[in-house]
Amino acid sequence: MSVSFTRRSTRLELLSARALPQQKVIVITDKLGFEPNANKVTTSWLSEQYGDKAITTGVTHLNESSKYLLLILSQLERRFEPRQIFHYIAQCKKDATVEHVFVWIVEQKLQEPFLRPYLEHMADSVITFEDRQHLSLLVKKNTGAVTHKYYEFDPLKDSITVVEAKRAAATKAATVSMEENPPPNPASLGTFKIDLKDEEVAAKNALTLPFEFFKTLPEGGKILYHPDAEDDLDEEDPDDDLLI
């Protein structure tokens, strides 16, 4: 099922201005294959916010300490246990000298699928490159509030500028499809017809059954029984008299 986006604004903003300020752990979920340029992308975000001298330090041993750190998960997962990676990130969150920790994730390369949701849970911001024109940004604020917005961007530009967009609900397409193709009438299916002709209805109404409802009385209803010629009425064992 395809997902469509529509612009909600025409105002251009730097993605770094939306994702970085006051956010320590920033997870990037990459569905496009930007990983080879992860260092270049994150360094450009730092330059936009803090100047050209701000650069990332790549993490390879889980013992690095720097103001700006970059973890490429597909590389670290081959060398370390998940608990070691989680512990390192947790320590960085407590370290006042660390300002930003970028965690770059390519889901297709993960050996353990649970890593992505766990790290996104630890993150303060989550950037997800949905396709080559759209991304989503989830930001957890210190107040406990969470914002989740979608943006349109141009991957060919050096700086990633975004315009807020609205993502169409995935259920709309299914709803429209159901409206365009209403369910068939059961009576029209199959090789037999369940409707009765006029003479069949008249014969049905004229049919007298052995049991008929008489009328409602204050003490309750009554049932009249019209015996057939074949009925064997026996006062001693009346249950055997009714052949139903």
Query: How confident is residue 202, by pLDDT bands cut at 50, 70 and 90?
Result: confident
Predicted structure pTM score: 0.67
Q: Is the pLDDT assigned to residue 204 strictly greater than 80? A: no
Ordered by where they begin, the domains of the chain are 5-175 (3.40.50), 196-241 (no CATH)
Whole-number Å distance between alpha carbons of 40 and 213: 87
**pLDDT given for residue 238 in this prediction:** 56
Q: What's the CA dihedral at 79, 80, 86, 92 to 10 degrees?
A: -70
Query: How confident is residue 175, by pLDDT bands cut at 50, 70 and 90?
Result: low
Query: How confident is residue 178, by pLDDT bands cut at 50, 70 and 90?
Result: low
Structure tokens at 228: 């057939």
Average pLDDT, the chain: 82
Condensed to tens digits (0 to 9), the pLDDT of residues 71-101 reads: 999 999 999 999 999 999 999 999 999 999 9
Condensed to tens digits (0 to 9), the pLDDT of residues 154-165 reads: 877 778 999 999
Whole-number Å distance between alpha carbons of 119 and 56: 19
Condensed to tens digits (0 to 9), the pLDDT of residues 1-28 reads: 556 656 666 788 999 999 999 999 999 9
Residue 32, φ and ψ in degrees, nearest 5: -115, -15
Q: Is the pLDDT assigned to residue 214 strictly greater than 60? A: no
Q: Is the pLDDT assigned to residue 173 strictly greater than 80? A: no
Neighbours of 165 (CB within 10 A): 21
